């Protein structure tokens, strides 16, 4: 559910961290003119199946809900402990677009998507559900972003590029044109200009000279 006009129904926001704080502090920037009811989580460590159930027990059925949790860990915690329980509880997961962002009318935006200030989503882009786009991000024409991804501030993705599910693109990362980035990939070296495809599970982070692959449980890795 993408908001295209002011929201008159109460919105429940769940999470913690920078994104959560920004939305709570300036709900009007996201066209929320009604009550914004915040459900703050102390930390990731405190988020369990029982604590999630406790949060949702306090939210009336079929409410408007937004999950704002910008800790990534390939976004499985946001997915499994908050996003999916909200769906199973029958709530309406909304997407929030900052008033200073631009989204082309031909773009397709999934549910529980955040688009930050001064970001540009160009024509025919597709954003899957539960994608968090930070501020000053540029997606050029026909970019596809899979479900449960995170794109950091100041990053860009050139036209025709496809990014898979559960990917993390850090701040100030620039990805070239007509590429395929697999599922569960991380590119988190600020200033990176990346112009090659990446297979599933590849990651580039500080301390690694070449891309590495996640190999099994616990983020063990091997180089290409």
pTM of the entire structure?
Answer: 0.86
Look at residue 217 in the predicted model and tell me its pLDDT: 41
Q: How many residues does the chain have?
A: 224
Is the per-residue pLDDT at 154 higher than 60? yes
CB atoms within 10 A of CB 159: 16
Helical segments of the chain, H only: 18-25, 49-57, 76-77, 84-88
Q: What is the mean pLDDT of residues 159-168?
A: 95
**Cβ-based neighbours of 90, under 8 Å, separated by 6 or more:** 61, 62
**Within the chain, how many helices (H) and strands (E) appear?**
4, 24
Is the per-residue pLDDT at 46 higher than 90? no
Of 76, 58, 139, 157, the residue nearest 102 (C-alpha):
139
What's the CA gap between 42 and 52, in Å, rounded? 12
Look at residue 74 in the predicted model and tell me its pLDDT: 59
Look at residue 17 in the predicted model and tell me its pLDDT: 86
Of 3-12, 59-68, 125-134, least confident by mean pLDDT is 3-12
Q: What is the mean pLDDT of residues 178-191?
A: 91
Q: What is the mean pLDDT of residues 57-76?
A: 81
- At residue 222 the predicted structure's pLDDT band, cuts being 50, 70 and 90, is very low
Look at residue 216 in the predicted model and tell me its pLDDT: 45
Pick 85 or 105 by higher pLDDT: 105
Helical segments of 178-222, H only: none
CB atoms within 10 A of CB 51: 12
Domain locations in the chain as residue ranges: 11-93
Of 175, 170, 168, the residue nearest 140 (C-alpha):
175
Look at residue 38 in the predicted model and tell me its pLDDT: 93
């Amino acid at each position: 559910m993408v908001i295209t006009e002011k929201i008159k129904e109460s919105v429940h926001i769940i999470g913690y961290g920078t994104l959560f704080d920004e939305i709570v502090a300036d709900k009007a920037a996201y066209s929320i003119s009604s009550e914004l009811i915040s459900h703050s989580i102390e930390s990731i460590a405190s988020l369990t199946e029982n604590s999630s159930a406790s949060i949702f027990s306090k939210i009336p059925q079929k409410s408007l809900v937004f999950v704002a949790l910008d800790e990534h860990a390939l976004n499985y915690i946001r997915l499994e402990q908050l996003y999916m329980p909200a769906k199973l509880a029958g709530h309406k997961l909304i997407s929030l677009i900052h008033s200073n962002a631009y989204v082309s009318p031909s773009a397709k935006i999934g549910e529980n998507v955040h688009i930050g200030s001064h970001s540009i989503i160009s024509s025919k882009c597709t954003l899957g559900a539960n994608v968090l786009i930070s501020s000053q991000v540029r997606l050029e024409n026909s970019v596809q972003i899979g479900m449960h991804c995170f794109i950091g501030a100041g990053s860009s993705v050139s036209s025709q590029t496809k990014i898979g599910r559960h990917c993390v693109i850090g701040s100030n990362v620039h990805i070239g044109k007509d590429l395929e980035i697999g599922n569960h990939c991380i590119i988190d070296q600020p200033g990176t200009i990346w112009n090659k495809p990446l297979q599933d599970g590849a990651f580039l982070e500080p301390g690694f000279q070449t891309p590495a692959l996640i190999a099994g449980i616990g983020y063990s890795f091997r180089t290409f």
